[in-house]
Amino acid sequence: MQTPPDRRSRKRLATRRAISEVADRLFQERGFDNVTVDEIAAAADVGRMTVFNHFPRKEDMFFDRDEEGRETVRAALRQREAGVSPVETLRRVVHRLIADKTPYLEFSSRSEGFIATVEASTTLKARARAIRDELTEVVALALAESVGTAPDDPEVRMAAGLILATWTVAFLEAHRHFRKTGNSEAAAALFLALIDRGSAGVAAALAGTPYA
């Protein structure tokens, strides 16, 4: 997330980050369901309403990079290179995120703590499923916009669904691999191999459409 140029926005962003960092620490130490918003506010030295001004839901503090991920997808398709298909554009952006060691897409002891916290909470698992569904909508809209088709085009709906299925499987399998081996590089390599394989399948399924 880029640092805002004006002082007021920088201060707001710093407060948001401080709340998020405190919340993450408490969630991983004690479990998401065992931490209250009041406890987070006290630990971050802010008021309860300040927390809600930044994060309407408690789950939003945990999945605080959700919007950043969505904007990455939108920006990649808006800035798509001439001659590069939307499906290939998204495959390339995933590779770039891994190369850049993007915090929300890593396979490490730190990220395993994140996954373990999700798996221990029914609330977080439900929100994770909802985010996946919402991201499918984001991808569908961005794909349609990138080629000038209607967002309710059945083929764009299929494209978005297949892409999210690929991302989900690759992400979960890479985390399982890290959990077994403790090898971050091997987990990332598996992730990218599955992304490549899934992307090739998506491209084949959508051959003859503007998305592939």
Q: What is the pLDDT of residues 177-209, one digit of tens each?
A: 999 999 999 999 999 999 999 999 999 999 999
Q: CA 201, CA 187: separation in Å to the nearest integer?
A: 21
**Residues in CB range of 56: below 8 A, 6 or more apart:** none
pTM, to two decimals: 0.86
Task: Spell out the residues 6+ positions from residue 91 whose beta carbon is closer than 8 angstroms to its own.
Answer: 195, 196, 199
Contacts of 3 (CB under 8 A, 6+ apart): 10, 13
- The answer to whether residue 26 scores a pLDDT higher than 90 is yes
Q: Rounded to an integer, what distance in angstroms lies between the CA atom of residue 26 and that of residue 40?
A: 8
What type of residue sits at position 40?
I
Q: Does 166 score more than 90 pLDDT?
A: yes
AA letter at 194: L
CATH of 7-62, one of 3.90.650.10, 3.30.1370.100, 2.40.50.140, 1.10.10.60: 1.10.10.60
Across the chain, mean pLDDT equals: 92
* Domain ranges within the chain, ordered by starting residue: 7-62, 66-205
Q: Measure the CA–CA gap between 93 and 74, rounded to whole angstroms.
A: 11
CATH topology of domain 66-205: Tetracycline Repressor; domain 2 (1.10.357)
Q: Is the pLDDT of residue 72 over 80?
A: yes
